Amino acid sequence: MKEIILAYQGEMTLKGLNRSKFEARLAKSIRYRLENLGKFKVSSSQSTVYIQPLEEDLDMEEAARRVSKVFGIVKLSRAACCDKDFDTICQTAEAYLGQTLRGIRTFKVEAKRADKQYPMKSPDICRELGAFLLSKHPHLRVNVHEPELEIMVEIREHGAYIHGPKTPGAGGLPVGTSGRALNLLSGGIDSPVAAWCMARRGLALHHIHFASPPYTSPRAKLKVRALARELSEYTGNCTLFVVPYTKPQEYIRDNAPDVLFTVLMRRSMLRIAAMVARKCELEALITGESLAQVASQTMAALVCTDAAQSLPVLRPCIGMDKNEIVALSRRIGTFETSIEPYEDCCTIFTPPHPKTRPSLDEIEAAEAGMPGLAELEQAAAENVERIPIHIGDDPEF
């Protein structure tokens, strides 16, 4: 019996004239994600992507798991495929789902005919396949309202597909269809979620991390690398830029009023991130900031941060509660790594009482008193370390 994965396209089906571009991108993402698992044929028709193994014994469960993380797909199902001849459909349904049917009591058959030439109408298919399966499993009953198993039969152009319930996909739009951005990745809970949210809207992204050794440890860097790798299951391969941030950070500590330290540091980080982004032709920055979560994320502080440089700063977590961010972080699989206890550079040198309502005037005055900062920032941006992140990398953390 041949098994296939059917992946159903989401929002991109609304894309009108651009749709083929979205489809091509989606197929590319899927091929790329399955590359080291074996040979698959990936093709699209009628809002569905067909992912067909071309070798025996490929790990279809792992393939489905990977496809469920590709943005652009709302639902997917593993399905048996066969000729459209009705007897063959019955035999295939039994061979594919018989084992499952033995373990349950109620079921229902749903049919969908994309091939309108097919001689049987959907209700006939449901009734007759239902009757066939009942004859094989007399303990079963049909329950159309709350069946334990809903069996779908899809009659499509090139064949029939039989499967159980569809499982959720990652939704959104294929990565790379909405531009390119640079995500500021700390080791915390929020910034991986921010990256995921924006990749889901189709942004291709890379990450930048600020490290201040010896105040921050090599383990902190490894942790961020682990997060970038976990995210790569959604974003695809990318680069993690690690900025040697110790000197600018010490300079700010030593030359500015300590109540303004955090906002001054965040402006400095964004300026460096913008330099790296422009060099790599990335069009926006992403952060995990959430309004009023901490002193540096009050409205007044964000106004000051935004004025530091001119690339757009995307903040998808801005209106989320912490518990919503945590729930997302668990769902995407970064939470456990995020809560590992390694110091982030944002938490060193922070004053006990940072100003929650800094004004841009006082911030700019403080920066005027730090004439050496620009040069240190420039040097930090130039000496950035580039770490390639590959989906299949071994976890080292």
Residues within the interface to ligand ATP (CB under 6 A):
184-186, 188-191, 208-210, 287-289, 293-294, 296, 344-346
**Residue 367 binds: one of Mg ion, ligand ATP, none (C-beta under 5 to 8 A by kind):** none
**Residue 189 binds: one of Mg ion, ligand ATP, none (C-beta under 5 to 8 A by kind):** ligand ATP
Shortest distance, position 253 Cβ to ligand ATP, whole Å: 15
Which residue, 43 or 347, is less far from ligand ATP as judged by CB?
Answer: 347
Which residue, 92 or 296, is less far from ligand ATP as judged by CB?
Answer: 296
**Residue 235 binds: one of ligand ATP, Mg ion, none (C-beta under 5 to 8 A by kind):** none
**Residue 380 binds: one of ligand ATP, Mg ion, none (C-beta under 5 to 8 A by kind):** none
Pairwise CA distance, residues 245 & 205, whole Å: 21
How buried is residue 148: exposed, middle or buried, by Cβ count under 10 Å (0-12/13-18/19+)?
middle
Shortest distance, position 258 Cβ to ligand ATP, whole Å: 16
Give the footprint of Mg ion on this chain (CB under 5 A): 186, 188, 344
**Residue 334 binds: one of ligand ATP, Mg ion, none (C-beta under 5 to 8 A by kind):** none
Pairwise CA distance, residues 253 & 261, whole Å: 7
Residue with the shortest CB distance to ligand ATP? 188
DSSP code string of 16-70: GGGHHHHHHHHHHHHHHHHGGG--EEEEEETTEEEEEE-STT--HHHHHHHHTTS
Pairwise CA distance, residues 291 & 293, whole Å: 6
Shortest distance, position 300 Cβ to ligand ATP, whole Å: 15
**Residue 132 binds: one of ligand ATP, Mg ion, none (C-beta under 5 to 8 A by kind):** none
**Residue 66 binds: one of ligand ATP, Mg ion, none (C-beta under 5 to 8 A by kind):** none
The angle formed by the CA atoms of residues 222, 224 and 226, to the nearest 5 degrees, is 70
Pairwise CA distance, residues 101 & 379, whole Å: 66
Which residue, 30 or 384, is less far from ligand ATP as judged by CB?
Answer: 384
Can you tell me whether residue 303 is helix, strand or coil?
Answer: helix
Shortest distance, position 210 Cβ to ligand ATP, whole Å: 4
Shortest distance, position 360 Cβ to ligand ATP, whole Å: 19
Distances (CA, A) of 186 to 189, 288, 294, 342: 8, 9, 15, 10
Each residue of 226-261: b (16+ CB within 10 Å) or e?
bbbbbbbbbbbebbbbbbbbbbbbebbbeebebbbb
Shortest distance, position 344 Cβ to Mg ion, whole Å: 5
Nearest to 207 by CA among 387, 393, 397: 387
Which residue, 89 or 273, is less far from ligand ATP as judged by CB?
Answer: 273
Shortest distance, position 186 Cβ to Mg ion, whole Å: 4
- Strand ordering across the sheet containing 238-244: 313-314, 284-286, 180-184, 204-211, 238-244, 385-389
Tell me which residue has tokens 């990749």: 199
Which residue, 129 or 211, is less far from ligand ATP as judged by CB?
Answer: 211
Which residue, 80 or 184, is less far from ligand ATP as judged by CB?
Answer: 184
Token pair recorded at residue 96? 């594919």
Which residue, 80 or 185, is less far from ligand ATP as judged by CB?
Answer: 185
Shortest distance, position 323 Cβ to ligand ATP, whole Å: 13
Query: Is residue 318 within 8 Å of residue 344, measured between CB atoms?
Result: no
